[in-house]
Amino acid sequence: MSDFVNSGWALFVAGLTIAGLVFCVFILVVASKRKVMASDNTTGHVWDEDLQEMNNPLPRWWMWLFVITVIFAVIYLALYPGLGTNQGTLKWTSTGQWQAEQDKAHATMAPVYAKFSAMPAAELAKDAQAMGIGERLFINNCAQCHGSDGHGSKGFPNLTDADWLGGSGPEYIAKTVTAGRMGVMPPMAAAVGTADDVKNVANYVLSLSGGAHNNLAAELGKPKFAACAACHGADGKGNQAIGAPNLTDKVWLHGWGEEAVIAMVNNGKTNVMPAFEARLSPEQIHVLAAYVWTLSQSTAVAAK
C-alpha cells in the first residue's frame, strides 16, 4: 500500500500533466503547418461518389482559443496545486478557503452571538431571532439524523418528547452536541441463558410497557430479567446516569416487538452521536441547544 502514497506517484502525475500540455502544443504546431494535399483543396478522400473531404485550415479564432487555453493551463498550474504534490505559488487549498469562509462568517455573526451567549435557554426560547438561527443550525447539522422536525427515526432519538437518555435540559444538550455521546448495550444472551430464556425475557420487557406479549413467557422471563436489572433497574425504569433506557414507557429507539427485543438482547447495540465542537463554535452550540430544548418543551406543554 505504501507504493501508492510515495513521492514517485506525485512525480508521475506531474509528468503526465506536463506531457499532456506538451502534446497539445505539438498538435497545435502540426495543425498550423499542415499543407493542402491536393490542388483543389481536398484531402483526396471521397465518399458516396461525390462527397469530398476538404482540407481547410483551422479558423484563426479557434487557433488563438487553443493557444489561450494552453497558456491559461500553464499559469494555473504555476499558481494552484495541480502538479502532483506541488502546492503552487499561491499555496491555495480547499481546506484553507473553507476555513477562511468560516472565519469570515463567525466574525460577521460574532456581535449577534455575543448577545445570545449571556442569555439562558428560557430567554432564548422567547427570542425569535435566536430561534430562527437555532432552527437553521439544526437543519444544517442535525436534521440528517433527527429529521427536520426533530422526530427522529429508528436508531435516531426523537427530540420532541420527554424521553432523554443520559440527561436532560439545555446544559446536557449543549454538552452532548459539543463532545458527542456513545451509548452501548452489550450482548446479554449468555448472561440471560438459553434461547428460550431470551425469548421469555423479551416478553417480560414488553409486558413492562403494556405491549402485546405472551403472559406465560413473561412470567418465566421475570426471574431472568435480573441480568438486565443492573442497568435498567429491578423495575425496568432505567438509569439516566448511565444512559440505560426506561423499559416501562412505550418509547422504542431501535424497534418494537418480540423480534426486536430478542435481537437487542442477543446482539447488543452501539449508538454514536458525533461531536460537533470542531464544527460549531460554543456560541452556536448554546443557541442550538436552546432550540433543541424548546422542541421537547412545546410537546410537554401541549400534553398538559
CATH architecture of 184-273: Orthogonal Bundle (1.10)
Region of poorest pLDDT, from 37-41, 59-63, 184-188: 37-41
Region of poorest pLDDT, from 24-33, 75-84, 285-294: 24-33
pLDDT for 77 beyond 60: yes
Higher pLDDT, 134 or 49: 134
**pLDDT value at residue 267:** 94
d(CA 226, CA 217): 15
Average pLDDT of the segment spanning 138-161: 93
| CATH hierarchy code of domain 103-180+274-303 | 1.10.760.10
Cell of 272: 454514536
* Residue 86 and residue 79 in contact, taking contact as beta carbons nearer than 8 Å: no
**pLDDT value at residue 302:** 39
Amino acid at 199: K
Region of poorest pLDDT, from 40-49, 61-70, 231-240: 40-49
Question: Radius of gyration over alpha carbons of the chain, in Å?
Answer: 33
pTM recorded for the entire structure: 0.69
pLDDT for 95 beyond 70: yes
- At 73, is the pLDDT very low, low, confident or very high (cuts 50, 70, 90)? very high
**pLDDT value at residue 82:** 86
pLDDT for 299 beyond 60: no
- At 301, is the pLDDT very low, low, confident or very high (cuts 50, 70, 90)? very low
- At 276, is the pLDDT very low, low, confident or very high (cuts 50, 70, 90)? very high
Look at phi and psi of residue 49 and say left if phi exceeds 0, alpha if psi is from -120 to 50, else beta: left
**For the chain, percent of residues with pLDDT exceeding 70:** 94
What are the residue boundaries of the structural domains of the chain, listed by start?
Answer: 2-79, 103-180+274-303, 184-273
Average pLDDT of the segment spanning 81-103: 88
Does the fold of domain 184-273 match that of domain 103-180+274-303? Answer: yes
**pLDDT value at residue 247:** 93
* Residue 244 and residue 264 in contact, taking contact as beta carbons nearer than 8 Å: no
Residue closest to 185 by CA, chosen among 278, 252, 91: 252
Residue closest to 59 by CA, chosen among 40, 79, 85, 31: 31
Sign of CA dihedral 27, 32, 37, 43: positive
Catalogue the long-range contacts made by 47-56 (C-beta closer than 8 Å, 24 or more residues apart). Answer: none
Q: What is the pLDDT of residues 55-68, one digit of tens each?
A: 777 778 888 898 89
pLDDT for 304 beyond 50: no
* Residue 142 and residue 153 in contact, taking contact as beta carbons nearer than 8 Å: no
Q: What is the pLDDT of residues 99-129, one digit of tens each?
A: 899 888 888 888 888 889 889 999 999 999 9
